[in-house]
């Protein structure tokens, strides 16, 4: 990840991929022009790196020149295109290829066509290394397109954000979600996970997503995903991970302005952990830590039996059921502990002590992330 001015960007298109795209464009243009000598016209500033790499690869004689237009302010395209340097040579009867670094709204391209209206060139072809189809609002034909990209702001390889980033040899994409703290919270039954989740949520302004609650909510409200999940449960089958992930996704989207999330009850398997990483990645974010409350078995048994006396929960009353639940927990979470430890994201926290002592230990971990 890199920071330019006030914004963060993540790696998006590598040098190798750019190089391959440029080569492909060179090949198809050279193929179309054969022995004609084309005039390549780069649109400054953004296209300087592309034009340079392009003409170095071009296998036959060609001419190179530039015009300079300006349209972007910050990360927004503007309608108002300024012509800073226009054509400086007569192009009558020539075959012209415009080399653009990127076509976004198409406003700049419209200005280019205006410039060529009265030039009497033999051919005018448009070549762009990057193209954002979702942003393009014009209907000028694009003859050669290197790489189609989603409608997100990029920098690097000539493209800038307020002047910075043009020098980067690869392309970076704007991170839209910034500074989220996403935690996966674990703890054996009786560890005090629920209590601590509530406190963390308030202190760090996080949204607590308990998978159990999300399921119950979707089923009770008969949402499409809830009904789908229920259809598996009714058959006695496990709900497929994708359905659960879709539900979590909906929950994350509902809270798109959150400072982060506490995931509770998910993931349970390696595949789910990977799916959660993918979900976070699609939100330009990531899981920062798996925090597990560690409490000795005997202490847990004691606590749960104590709770059983008043809670009325059957599974809290029987010692062998309690021990089973604890064993199950360790069996299931061992894989996840490994998964997150491999990414240096596993944090075990001593869960024995007063509520505030444990909260303090958790705060220390989170503040250090
Ligand atoms: P258009 O006029 O909206 O098609 O935008 C074309 C010009 O806007 C390009 O030549 C760039 O200078 C600039 N531009 C468009 N999208 C981006 C981007 O994602 N990053 C940096 N500059 C961009
Ligand atoms: Mg440009």
Residue ranges of domains in the chain: 2-174, 181-367
Closest atom of ligand 1 to 106 CA is 4
Say if ligand 1 is within 6 A of residue 107 CB. Answer: yes
Which residue's alpha carbon is at the smallest distance from atom 5 of ligand 1?
104
Residue 72 has pLDDT above 70, yes or no: no
pLDDT tens readout for residues 162-179: 999 999 999 999 987 667
b/e burial code for range 287-313 (CB count within 10 A of at least 16 → b)? bbbbbbbebeeeebbebbeebbeeeee
CATH class of the domain defined by 181-367: alpha beta
Closest atom of ligand 1 to 46 CA is 12
Say if ligand 1 is within 6 A of residue 23 CB. Answer: no
Ligand 1 centre and the CA of 171: distance in Å?
Answer: 13
Mean pLDDT score, 276-303: 91
Q: Which ligand is nearest to the CA of 103?
A: 1
Active site residues: 100-101, 104, 153, 166
Q: Which ligand is nearest to the CA of 44?
A: 2
pTM as predicted: 0.64
Ligand 2 centre and the CA of 92: distance in Å?
Answer: 24
Say if ligand 1 is within 6 A of residue 149 CB. Answer: no
Q: Which of 84, 101, 102 to mutate to test the pocket of ligand 1 (most atoms within 8 A of CB)?
A: 102
Mean pLDDT score, 299-317: 84
CATH class of the domain defined by 2-174: alpha beta
Say if ligand 1 is within 6 A of residue 172 CB. Answer: no
Q: What is the pLDDT of residue 315?
A: 74
Say if ligand 1 is within 6 A of residue 9 CB. Answer: no
pLDDT tens readout for residues 255-282: 877 889 999 989 988 999 999 999 998 8
Q: Is the dihedral of CA 64, 147, 116, 59 positive or negative?
A: positive
Domains 2-174 and 181-367 share a fold: yes
List the one residue out of 369, 329, 330 whose CA is nearest residue 346.
369
Ligand 2 centre and the CA of 285: distance in Å?
Answer: 29
pLDDT tens readout for residues 24-63: 999 999 999 999 999 999 999 999 999 999 999 999 999 9
Full 3-state SS string of the chain: CEEECCEEEEEEECHHHHHHHHHHHHHHHHHHHCCCCCEEEEEECCCHHHHHHHHHHCCCCCEEEEEEEEEEECCEEEEEEEEEECCCCCCCCCEEEEEEEEECCCHHHHHHHHHHCCCCCCEEEEEEEEECCCCCCCCCCCCEEEEECCCCCEEECCECECCECCCCCCEEEECCCCCCCCEEEECCCCCCHHHHHHHHHHHHCCEEEEHHHHHHHHHHCCCHHHHHHHHHHHCCCCCCHHHHHHHHHHHHHHCCCCCCEEEECCCCCHHHHHHHHHHHHHCCCCCCEEEEEECCHHHHHHHHHHHHHHHCCHHHCCHHHHHHHHHHHHHHHHHHHHHHHCCCCEEEEECCCCHHHHHHHHHHHHHCC
Q: What is the pLDDT of residue 150?
A: 95
Q: Kindly report each contact of residues 257-260 with a partner whose C-beta sits within 8 Å and lies 24 or more positions away, as own/partner.
A: 258/180, 258/205, 258/206, 258/207, 259/179, 259/180, 259/181, 259/204, 259/205, 259/206, 260/180, 260/181, 260/182, 260/183, 260/204, 260/205, 260/206, 260/207, 260/288
CB atoms within 10 A of CB 320: 7
Q: What is the pLDDT of residue 355?
A: 92
The number of C-alpha atoms within 13 Å of 91 and in the hemisphere containing its C-beta is: 27
Mean pLDDT score, 290-314: 88
Closest atom of ligand 1 to 159 CA is 21
Ligand 1 centre and the CA of 322: distance in Å?
Answer: 61
Ligand 1 centre and the CA of 72: distance in Å?
Answer: 6
Q: Kindly report each contact of residues 223-228 with a partner whose C-beta sits within 8 Å and lies 24 or more positions away, as own/partner.
A: 223/250, 225/250
Q: Which ligand is nearest to the CA of 71?
A: 1
Say if ligand 1 is within 6 A of residue 129 CB. Answer: no
């Amino acid at each position: 990840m890199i920071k330019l001015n006030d914004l963060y960007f993540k790696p998006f298109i590598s040098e190798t991929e750019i190089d391959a795209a440029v080569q492909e464009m060179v090949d198809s243009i050279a193929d179309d022009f054969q022995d004609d000598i084309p005039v390549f016209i780069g649109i400054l500033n953004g296209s300087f790196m592309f034009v340079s790499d392009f003409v170095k690869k071009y296998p036959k004689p060609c001419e190179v020149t530039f015009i300079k237009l300006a349209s972007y302010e910050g990360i927004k395209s503007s309608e108002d295109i300024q012509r800073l340097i226009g054509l400086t040579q007569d192009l009558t009867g020539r075959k012209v290829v415009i080399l653009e670094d990127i076509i976004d709204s198409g406003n700049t391209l419209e200005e280019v066509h205006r410039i060529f209206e009265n030039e009497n060139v033999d051919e005018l072809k448009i070549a762009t290394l990057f193209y954002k189809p979702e942003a393009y609002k014009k209907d000028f034909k694009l003859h050669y397109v290197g790489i189609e990209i989603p409608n997100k702001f990029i920098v690097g390889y000539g493209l800038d954000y307020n002047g910075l980033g043009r020098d980067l040899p690869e392309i970076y994409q704007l991170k839209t979600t910034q500074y989220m703290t996403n935690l996966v919270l674990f703890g054996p039954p009786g560890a005090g996970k629920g209590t601590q989740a509530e406190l963390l949520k308030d202190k760090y302004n996080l949204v607590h997503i308990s998978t159990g609650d999300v399921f119950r909510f979707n089923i009770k409200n008969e949402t499409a995903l809830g009904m789908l999940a229920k259809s598996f449960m009714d058959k006695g089958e496990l709900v497929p991970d994708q359905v659960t992930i879709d539900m979590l996704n909906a929950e994350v989207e509902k809270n798109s302005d959150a400072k982060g999330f506490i995931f509770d009850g998910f993931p349970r398997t390696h595949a789910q952990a990977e799916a959660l990483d993918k979900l976070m990645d699609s939100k330009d974010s990531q899981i920062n830590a798996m925090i597990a409350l560690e409490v000795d078995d005997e202490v847990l048994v004691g606590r749960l039996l104590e709770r059983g006396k008043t809670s009325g929960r059957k599974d809290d009353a029987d010692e062998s059921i309690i021990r089973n639940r604890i064993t199950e927990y360790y069996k299931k979470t061992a894989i996840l502990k490994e998964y997150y430890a491999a990414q240096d994201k596993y944090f075990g926290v001593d869960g024995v002590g007063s509520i505030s002592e444990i909260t303090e230990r958790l705060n220390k971990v989170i503040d250090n992330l």
